[in-house]
Chains A and B, each alone.
Chain A
Amino acid sequence: MKLETIAWPGSYGDQAKPRMGFFTDTSVCIGCKACEVACKEWNQIPMSVQGFTGHSYDNTIDLGANSWRHVAFIEQRKPVDADGDGSLSQVAARASLAEDQGLATYQEGDGIRWLMASDVCKHCTEAACLEVCPTGALFRTEYGTVVVQEDVCNGCGYCVPACPFGVLDQRQDDGRVWKCTLCYDRLKDEKEPACAQACPTNSIQYGELGELREGAEHRLAQLQHAGQREARLYLADDDDGVGGASAFFLLLDEPEVYGLPPDPVDSRRELGSIWAATAAAALALGAGLVAAALGGRR
């Protein structure tokens, strides 16, 4: 495991702490939203009533300046077989299948399943938001997390499009960017983040990233052994598009199902080709101008 980022731990010397993070095991999430409430309570985030959305039990919709945790609810009708419609006899047949093969899974039954997952800022290893911030408001902490300093942020908004997950968001009334700090203030007091402490089923686990990843691998193997073939870890890989992240997830389906990008990429990785394209365009433009000027003399 790499774990290192550009600034952490190098720039902290002996002040560096272990890299801390969240492992969100969505297979035991019961959708109670205690994480959302605990986060808002601790961080004094404004209320954001968005009305009835009709998206199952989700009325938070997405992460934003006023929602640093968001529990997604996904209702799925899972066909029993290729052309099954989940009729009673088929469900019963599947149940006996479960009995015979030891297939015991969460969030399934009756041919439907209800996925719940608590989303949060990923605190990426390669965090584009931090790199594009012109004021230094966004910085890498001694815990390896990414935090916005509210007294430095000038509301330029550069970080907003830089985030491949759409986490960074400006608060409408003051223009500044607000997001999960992984409870930086609580970490300094050796307390776990509010959401993790409030989570009743330990779906949100807080700890040293290296240890969390080991635990997650074990959990994944367990679920896959129990027949959850689509279970996967998300953002636990150093070689993915953001170099892994401090907040990673165990998902029971494709990331898109949860509203997560399937292959997020640190937007700076494209900078080389963007600059090359810009240079080519500039050259072409220059050549055209020269040609026009020369042609005009004729």
Chain B
Amino acid sequence: MGSNMAEQHPVGFQWVIEAKERGAKVIHVDPRFTRTSAMADRHVQIRAGSDIAFLGGVVNYIFERDAWFREYVQHYTNGPVILKPDFQDTEDASGFFSGWNSEHSAYQIDTWGYNKSTGEATAGKSEQQADVSGEQAHGAHGMKLSAGQPPDIDDSMQDERCILQMVRRHFSRYTPEMVAETCGCSAEEFLEVARALCENSGRERTSAIVYSVGWTQHTTGVQNIRAASIVQMLLGNVGRPGGGILALRGHANIQGSTDIPTLYNILPGYIPMPHPQSHPTLDTFVELNGPDTGAWGNLRPYIVSLLKAWWGDAATEDNDFCFDYLPRINGDHSHYAMMLKMLDGGVKGMLCVGQNPTVGSANSKLIRLALAKLDWLVVRDFQPTESALFWQDSPEHESGEVRASDIQTEVFFLPAAAHTEKDGTYTNTQRLLQWHHKACEPPGDARSDLHWIYHLGKAIRAKLADSEDPRDRPIREVTWDYPVHGPHDEPDAEHVLQEISGRRPDGSFLESYDELLPDGSTTCGSWIHCGIYKDGVNQAARKKPHSEQNWIAHEWGWAWPKDTRMIYNRSSADPEGRPWSERKRYVWWDGDAGRWTGLGDSPDFPPEKEPGYRPSRRAKKMEAIAGDKPYILHPDGRAWLYVPTGLVDGPLPTHYEPQESPFSNPLYAQQQNPTRQVFHRPENPYNPTDGEQGAGVYPFVLSTYRLTEHHTSGAMSRTVPYLAELQPEFFCEVSPQLAAERGLEHGGWATIVTARQAVEARVLVTDRIKPLHVQGRAMHLVGAPYHWGGVGIVTGDSANELLPLALDNNVHISEYKVATCDIRPGRRPRGQARLALVEDYRRRAGVKS
């Protein structure tokens, strides 16, 4: 669901084909019939943005048929935990959970916690308001629980206020009929999927759910995935072979750039970025962000080892290990927040590395207007991109709104090396790191990112060498001394990997994060990656073929944490430590040897903790995790059916309509996710949604997406001859019915219009796009790949020009997958007339501009 795996992950899809050859049933639930649907046993078409309704329907089906895995749910999830008496569900409060603060458009989450527990959000609770970011949003890594035990539990799971019953009630109205009405598929199609999932789950069987960016790019993105998690937990499909939820990432190594983040709000290994008010000292940071129990109970060793890796000898017990040197975040500095601040003149310069936001981001015009407010812009890419050339070529130049001579931004273009021209790792969806070796030198002045950032750092440090200013000390004292080689002084990437893996006091390499110490004697650049260089060997570079080892393939690459190929694999055994079934055995307890054993994977559990172990009342950290609680990153060791802390938009997924939708919410009076981020300003107008005047002006659903033949914004594919020619022009996909309704001609041109922009595309009329019947009306989808722009061998209008900024407030991702639009035959007007067309639509729809 929400994945076009065959097109976006064709190499990984070979394993789906192989599984299918071996009898697996492949079901594709998606708004479009794609190359993935073509290979599946079954394709069920649903309306874009209705995933929670569909999955909620599956949850309801599981309860109706009593198909849930009782033993798994009772012992391994928080299903038996009793909630606070003042918690109110959306079913009780017409689409809101308890704690809604309409003034801040945010939830106070005090009532969401476990009964008789306090401090749900260990971090920043007092500051929780509309501006949520970093630790403020995520409540760090769980609540304080004495001895890792939820205080109030009903193991029979009959209590009305226990989580299992709460989940059951929450989804009780998500019936097959409601699913059909909301999603536009038939009840029979829905039932076939629900039945298949239930029949293929249990002791003997497991089912996996695969999702990709299609699920994340919604104002309910995080909750889409949460809904799948609930299904998988109820069916006992997590931590077991053949189960799980596979998050296929948007492009190569996005997983790696989250683990060691290029994000503003986390440090390596998902340690939250500190906040200026709540974290004056390391002690308070650890106190507020680390729960006392579970693997996060060791936050102090993790962060101290990180600080030691970064500031070396300068980091001492006396100066809090340079904790003060870490930047503090005082609000939302995510991509769009930054762009809006830029638009308001609040950002001087930008380093744009391997990103092409004027094509890849929503509301491209707003992005370009923001870039024009910069003093300087550095773009590092293979070739000048639309973002590098925004000052001389854009739709605003064509319309006469902007002249190159008026843009004061100074733009620097730096050529970048490709992955084949440098050493490094890729991390894939199951946390597997694979080393890649440089195959050839980069051409001309092109350099690796590592080379650029290292030498830039050196140049800055040289300038600050004599500075006495305290604010320069973090830069002056940072460890920045990688060995270099070759004619261009290329830093040694393996040396960076060694720093990430970490060292003992004697300089030898650490084996696992269990060895990290809070006293500053160990160093480790990322605790989850600790051991990737154990025994002085680049573990990620191991490439023993699968034919020469068993299927777990431990000698191919390295997976965090501790080379665990399947995370939470303690749940592949029953509470007593026995395999759930012979067929699905993976990790189990060997009573004679007194340790966990199995088919060969590293147990994701303390190796000698027996299944019957129970923590003492004063137990902390991993000591507080009982022998039958596999989810060691949670303070209670349980998987969370219901999320008491960590999400800003509710503890349970709830169907809300997208920001722009031709339909009203059939389940709740509240139309959209109440916590979504919207920005009402002239550069970012919204189409009216169903129920608002003028909604009919933009009657169709628009979805933007990608094709196999191109890569994201096209900067890496429209510039390559053999890729450019495969999909040479921007096209849109429409059903024969919509084509007839709007007079669109196959192979001709169409103009797609929203309140933001009008773009032109060639028309592909296809049966693969099917009108759906929703709420008694036809729903038409306009599909638009977004790969084109003004630069390259093949060019064209860009589909993302059409989208507004409407974000999920948990992670600030934009709703690329659903908006509304109109479509009309023929090419778009040129120059001023293009603006006039957009303006005419706005006027008719009553959109202020």
- CB-based contact A28/B17 at 8 Å: yes
**22 residue pairs bridging A and B, Cβ less than 8 Å apart:** A28-B39, A30-B38, A31-B38, A40-B722, A48-B725, A49-B725, A49-B794, A51-B728, A51-B729, A52-B728, A56-B764, A59-B725, A59-B726, A60-B726, A77-B767, A92-B188, A106-B20, A109-B37, A110-B43, A114-B768, A202-B14, A202-B17
Q: Which residue of A is nearest B42, CB measured?
A: A109
- CB-based contact B38/A36 at 8 Å: no
A-contacting residues, B166-223, CB 8 Å: 185-186, 188-189, 192
- CB-based contact B25/A36 at 8 Å: no
Task: Answer whether A30 and B10 are a contact pair too, CB < 8 Å, given A54-B747, A75-B767, A95-B192.
Answer: yes
- CB-based contact A89/B10 at 8 Å: no
Contact partners of B409 in chain A: CB under 8 A: none
- CB-based contact A200/B13 at 8 Å: yes
Cα distance, A289 to B38, chains bound together (Å): 66
Q: Within 8 Å of chain B (Cβ to Cβ): is A50?
A: yes
Report the minimal beta-carbon distance from B775 to chain A, rounded to whole angstroms.
Answer: 16
Known: A57-B35, A104-B25. 13 other contacts (CB 8 A): A31-B35, A32-B7, A33-B709, A33-B726, A36-B726, A41-B722, A47-B793, A52-B747, A92-B189, A95-B42, A95-B189, A114-B37, A114-B768
- CB-based contact A92/B186 at 8 Å: yes
Q: Within 8 Å of chain A (Cβ to Cβ): is B258?
A: no
Within 8 Å by CB of B722, from A47, A116, A200, lies A47
- CB-based contact A88/B186 at 8 Å: yes
Q: Which residue of A is nearest B764, CB measured?
A: A54
Task: Answer whether A59 and B747 are a contact pair too, CB < 8 Å, given A92-B192, A116-B38, A201-B17.
Answer: no
Report the minimal beta-carbon distance from B718 to chain A, rounded to whole angstroms.
Answer: 11
Within 8 Å by CB of B38, from A33, A60, A113, lies A113
Contact partners of B770 in chain A: CB under 8 A: 110
4 closest A-B pairs by beta carbon, nearest first, are A47-B721, A54-B747, A92-B188, A52-B729
Cα distance, A54 to B748, chains bound together (Å): 9
- CB-based contact A32/B37 at 8 Å: no
Contact partners of A267 in chain B: CB under 8 A: none
- CB-based contact B768/A37 at 8 Å: no
Task: Answer whether A104 and B41 are a contact pair too, CB < 8 Å, given A47-B722, A50-B725, A59-B726.
Answer: yes
Task: Answer whether A54 and B25 are a contact pair too, CB < 8 Å, given A40-B722, A92-B186.
Answer: no
Q: Which residue of B is nearest A38, CB measured?
A: B722
Q: Within 8 Å of chain B (Cβ to Cβ): is A154?
A: no
B-contacting residues, A201-223, CB 8 Å: 201-202
Contact partners of A33 in chain B: CB under 8 A: 708-709, 726
By size class, the interface of chain B is 35 or more
Q: Within 8 Å of chain B (Cβ to Cβ): is A107?
A: yes
Contact partners of A36 in chain B: CB under 8 A: 722, 726
Chain B 710-730 against A: per-residue CB contact (8 Å), 1 yes, 0 no? Answer: 000000000001111111110
A-contacting residues, B740-775, CB 8 Å: 746-747, 762-764, 766-768, 770
Contact partners of B793 in chain A: CB under 8 A: 47, 49
Report the minimal beta-carbon distance from A4 to chain B, rounded to whole angstroms.
Answer: 33
Centre residue among A47, A109, A112, A200 by max chain B CB count within 10 A: A109
Cα distance, A122 to B3, chains bound together (Å): 36
Contact partners of B14 in chain A: CB under 8 A: 200-202
Contact partners of A52 in chain B: CB under 8 A: 728-729, 731, 747, 762
Within 8 Å by CB of A30, from B35, B45, B729, B768, lies B35
Q: Within 8 Å of chain A (Cβ to Cβ): is B306?
A: no
Cα distance, A202 to B526, chains bound together (Å): 38
Cα distance, A140 to B725, chains bound together (Å): 32
Chain A 38-79 against B: per-residue CB contact (8 Å), 1 yes, 0 no? Answer: 001100000111111110110110000000000000010100
Question: What's the dominant secondary structure at chain A's contact region?
Answer: loop
Cα distance, A127 to B704, chains bound together (Å): 47
Task: Answer whether A110 and B10 are a contact pair too, CB < 8 Å, given A88-B186, A91-B189.
Answer: no
B-contacting residues, A83-104, CB 8 Å: 88-89, 91-92, 95-96, 98, 104
Report the minimal beta-carbon distance from A180 to chain B, rounded to whole angstroms.
Answer: 16
- CB-based contact A114/B747 at 8 Å: no
Report the minimal beta-carbon distance from A92 to chain B, rounded to whole angstroms.
Answer: 4
- CB-based contact A114/B35 at 8 Å: yes
Contact partners of A57 in chain B: CB under 8 A: 35, 707, 709, 727
Cα distance, A49 to B38, chains bound together (Å): 26
Q: Within 8 Å of chain B (Cβ to Cβ): is A34?
A: yes
A-contacting residues, B372-416, CB 8 Å: none
Cα distance, A109 to B709, chains bound together (Å): 24
Q: Within 8 Å of chain A (Cβ to Cβ): is B270?
A: no
- CB-based contact B724/A47 at 8 Å: yes
Contact partners of B729 in chain A: CB under 8 A: 51-52
Residues on A close to B: CB < 8 A? 28, 30-34, 36-37, 40-41, 47-54, 56-57, 59-60, 75, 77, 88-89, 91-92, 95-96, 98, 104-107, 109-110, 112-114, 116, 200-202
Task: Answer whether A109 and B41 are a contact pair too, CB < 8 Å, given A37-B722, A60-B726, A77-B767.
Answer: yes
Report the minimal beta-carbon distance from B727 to chain A, rounded to whole angstroms.
Answer: 6
Centre residue among A40, A41, A56, A114 by max chain B CB count within 10 A: A114
Q: Which residue of A is nearest B761, CB measured?
A: A52
- CB-based contact B33/A110 at 8 Å: yes
Q: Within 8 Å of chain A (Cβ to Cβ): is B11?
A: yes
Report the minimal beta-carbon distance from B273 to chain A, rounded to whole angstroms.
Answer: 39
Contact partners of B746 in chain A: CB under 8 A: 54
Cα distance, A193 to B767, chains bound together (Å): 35
Contact partners of A116 in chain B: CB under 8 A: 35, 38
Centre residue among A28, A32, A89, A113 by max chain B CB count within 10 A: A32
- CB-based contact A50/B728 at 8 Å: yes
Q: Within 8 Å of chain A (Cβ to Cβ): is B6?
A: yes
Report the minimal beta-carbon distance from A58 to chain B, rounded to whole angstroms.
Answer: 9
Q: Within 8 Å of chain A (Cβ to Cβ): is B40?
A: yes
Contact partners of B43 in chain A: CB under 8 A: 109-110
Contact partners of B728 in chain A: CB under 8 A: 49-52, 59
Within 8 Å by CB of B708, from A31, A89, A105, A107, lies A31
Cα distance, A96 to B768, chains bound together (Å): 22
Contact partners of A30 in chain B: CB under 8 A: 6-7, 10, 13, 17, 35, 38-39
- CB-based contact B726/A37 at 8 Å: yes
Chain B 74-113 against A: per-residue CB contact (8 Å), 1 yes, 0 no? Answer: 0000000000000000000000000000000000000000
Within 8 Å by CB of B188, from A89, A113, A201, lies A89
Cα distance, A51 to B793, chains bound together (Å): 12
Report the minimal beta-carbon distance from B770 to chain A, rounded to whole angstroms.
Answer: 7
- CB-based contact A32/B725 at 8 Å: no
Within 8 Å by CB of B37, from A34, A49, A110, A202, lies A110
Contact partners of B724 in chain A: CB under 8 A: 47, 49
Chain B 131-167 against A: per-residue CB contact (8 Å), 1 yes, 0 no? Answer: 0000000000000000000000000000000000000
Cα distance, A155 to B40, chains bound together (Å): 46
- CB-based contact B7/A107 at 8 Å: no
Contact partners of B725 in chain A: CB under 8 A: 47-50, 59-60
- CB-based contact B39/A34 at 8 Å: no
Contact partners of A50 in chain B: CB under 8 A: 725, 728
Q: Which residue of B is nearest A28, CB measured?
A: B17
Cα distance, A5 to B30, chains bound together (Å): 50
Cα distance, A88 to B44, chains bound together (Å): 10
Q: Which residue of B is nearest A66, CB measured?
A: B725
Cα distance, A113 to B41, chains bound together (Å): 11
A-contacting residues, B516-568, CB 8 Å: none
Contact partners of A95 in chain B: CB under 8 A: 42, 188-189, 192
Centre residue among A36, A110, A113 by max chain B CB count within 10 A: A110
A-contacting residues, B10-52, CB 8 Å: 10-11, 13-14, 17, 20, 25, 28, 33, 35, 37-43, 45
Q: Which residue of B is nearest A53, CB measured?
A: B747
Report the minimal beta-carbon distance from A105 to chain B, rounded to whole angstroms.
Answer: 8
Q: Which residue of A is nearest B725, CB measured?
A: A49
Report the minimal beta-carbon distance from A246 to chain B, rounded to whole angstroms.
Answer: 25
Contact partners of A34 in chain B: CB under 8 A: 10
Report the minimal beta-carbon distance from A43 to chain B, rounded to whole angstroms.
Answer: 11
Report the minimal beta-carbon distance from A79 to chain B, rounded to whole angstroms.
Answer: 12
